[in-house]
A and B are shown apart, each in its own frame.
Chain A
Amino acid sequence: MGAVVISTNQLTKKFGDFAAVDSVSFDVYQGEIFGFVGANGAGKTTVIRMLCGLLLPSSGTASIAGFDIYSQTEEIKKSIGYMSQKFSLYEDLTVKENIRFFAGIYGLSDKEIREKGDGLVFELGLQESAKKKVKELPLGWKQRLSFSIAIIHSPQVVFLDEPTSGVDPIVRRQFWELIYAASERGITVFVTTHYMDEAEYCGRVSIMVDGKIRALDTPSNLKTRFSGNTMGDVFRSLARGAARVGD
Chain B
Amino acid sequence: MKSMAAKQLSALVGKEFRQMLRDRKSLFMLVGVPVMQIVIFGFALTNEITHAKILVEDYSRDPVTQRIVDKIQASTYFDVEEGSLMPDALNVAFRKGQIKLAVVFPVNFGSSLLHLHRADVQIIADASDPNTAVTLTKYLSSIIADYQMELDRTSKAPLQIEPEVTMLYNPELKGAPTFVPGVVAFVIFLICIGMTSISVVKEKELGTMEVLLVSPLRPALFLMAKGLPYLAVSLLNLIIVLLMSVFLLDMPIRGSIVLLLAESVIFIVCALAIGMVVSITSKTQQDAFMNGQLNMMAPAYLLTGFLFPVENMPLPLRLLANLVPSRWYYIIVKDIMLKGMGLQSIWKESLVLVGMTVVLLWVNTRILKVRLQ
Query: Are A and B direct contacts in the complex by CB distance below 8 Å?
Result: no
Chain B residues engaging chain A, CB cutoff 8 angstroms = none
